[in-house]
């Protein structure tokens, strides 16, 4: 599809973006403002206690970030007042609000990733000019699949192959959360105890139904709830893999905080990570944030005037540009040897190249050889 036709579609449109302070939402927002200044209006949904706090978060966490530097230099940034006109004006809703912690509290993840998506979709019913609802999910909702994974929706209650329970009852899951919270409150549990119990509950329920963690489990539930809503609104679900820093736009290398593989890179470069466990020939699927946004914009413009009401796109790199686990380590070794990280005193940290342990047996041997002597010495010191 030609770039001009994509840009023409967004001219004069009003878009509601949820989770506007999130990593991907910022890239989406910057892109749409930079390439289509004739967009009519953007509504940004930001969690805050009041209007002033929301405006402060918008300035500090979105507009003043380095990502928006190119936009500020080109157009300048002006504050805009939020209006209660969304139902009359919104054409497109982009739902990127999510909690991406793998071990998030089950009640929190259920509220944001699952029920939150449903509530935003219900909001779309009241938008008189609504054309489409774009929901950002994750490719790992299908994490148990192997080979080429079809871009198909979940059926209500569907669980992965091999799950201990063959049917997922979402109402039961909501009741499990409510009953557990009531039980903890009856026991006068502390906030710390409640948080820990909710995190453990999320992991347990995810694994029971065949998902590896709370994040992908609740994102899958969110997709089911969206698919179950009988709407005339066009629904586009995008499922990116591991989202990394920007490739080209507005400039290369932009990211914020330590995200997914970033923490591994930093820990390895600082000498805190001594080994890797995994099949060196397995593929890591990563995709730059700006490429995810570009794919979203193309999908939105492509299907604007088509009759399809339910569309799913997987956005990844493993088919066209696969990255092997061992290649990632080689790239880190090469980069960090030439560009070492600095310690707290500003001195370069010499890279200690780590080992790749291909099996759990080799992992146990490594731990025994490396750390058992220290454990024995510590044990002996208890008696002297």
Residues labelled as active-site residues:
215, 219
Distance CA 94, CA 113 (A): 14
DSSP H stretches of helix in 209-357: 214-228, 261-269, 289-302, 325-338
Coil, helix or strand for 54? helix
Question: Cis bond leading into 250, ω under 30°?
Answer: yes
Q: Which of 88, 93, 75, 113 is nearest to 235 (CA)?
A: 93
Distance CA 132, CA 233 (A): 6
CA distances from 89 to 124, 231, 235, 257 (A): 11, 19, 18, 34
Question: Is residue 277 packed enough to be buried (19+ CB in 10 Å), middle (13-18) or exposed (0-12)?
Answer: middle
Distance of CA 275 to the CA centre of its chain: 26
Sign of the CA dihedral with 141 first, then 101, 247, and 27 last:
positive
Distance CA 114, CA 29 (A): 23
Provide the angle, in degrees to the nearest 10, between the axes of the packed helices 170-186 and 214-228.
130
CA distances from 340 to 161, 349, 352 (A): 44, 6, 11
């Amino acid at each position: 599809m030609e770039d001009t036709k994509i840009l023409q579609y967004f001219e004069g449109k009003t878009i509601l973006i949820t989770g506007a302070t999130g990593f991907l939402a910022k890239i989406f927002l910057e892109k749409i403002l930079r390439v289509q200044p004739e967009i009519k209006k953007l509504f940004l949904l930001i969690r805050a206690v009041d209007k002033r706090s929301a405006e402060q978060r918008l300035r500090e966490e979105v507009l003043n970030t380095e990502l928006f530097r190119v936009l500020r230099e080109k157009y300048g940034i002006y504050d805009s007042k939020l209006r209660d006109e969304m139902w009359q004006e919104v054409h497109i809703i982009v739902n990127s609000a999510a909690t991406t912690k793998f071990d998030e509290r089950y009640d929190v993840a259920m509220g944001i990733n699952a029920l939150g998506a449903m509530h935003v979709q219900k909001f779309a019913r009241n938008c008189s000019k609504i054309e489409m609802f774009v929901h950002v999910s994750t490719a790992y909702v299908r994490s148990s699949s192997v080979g080429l994974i079809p871009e198909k929706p979940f059926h209500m209650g569907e669980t992965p192959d091999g799950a201990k329970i063959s049917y997922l009852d979402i109402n039961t899951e909501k009741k499990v959360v409510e009953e557990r919270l009531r039980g903890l409150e009856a026991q006068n549990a502390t906030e710390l105890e409640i948080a820990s119990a909710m995190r453990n509950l999320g992991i347990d329920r995810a694994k029971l139904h065949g998902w590896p963690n709370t994040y992908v489990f609740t994102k899958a539930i969110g997709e089911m709830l969206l698919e179950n809503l009988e709407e005339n609104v066009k629904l586009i679900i995008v499922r990116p893999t591991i989202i990394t820093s920007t490739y080209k736009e507005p400039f290369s290398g932009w990211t914020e905080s330590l995200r997914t593989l970033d923490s591994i890179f930093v820990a390895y470069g600082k000498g805190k990570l001594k080994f890797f466990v995994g099949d060196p020939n397995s593929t890591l699927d990563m995709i730059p944030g700006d490429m995810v946004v570009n794919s979203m914009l193309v999908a939105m413009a492509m299907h604007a005037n088509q009759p399809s009401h339910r569309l799913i796109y997987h956005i990844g790199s493993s088919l066209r540009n696969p990255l092997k686990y061992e290649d990632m380590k080689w790239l880190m070794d090469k980069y960090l040897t030439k560009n070492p990280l600095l310690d707290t005193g500003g001195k370069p940290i010499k890279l200690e190249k780590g080992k790749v342990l291909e099996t759990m047996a080799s992992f146990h041997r490594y731990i025994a050889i490396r750390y058992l002597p220290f454990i024995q010495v510590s044990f002996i010191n208890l008696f002297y």
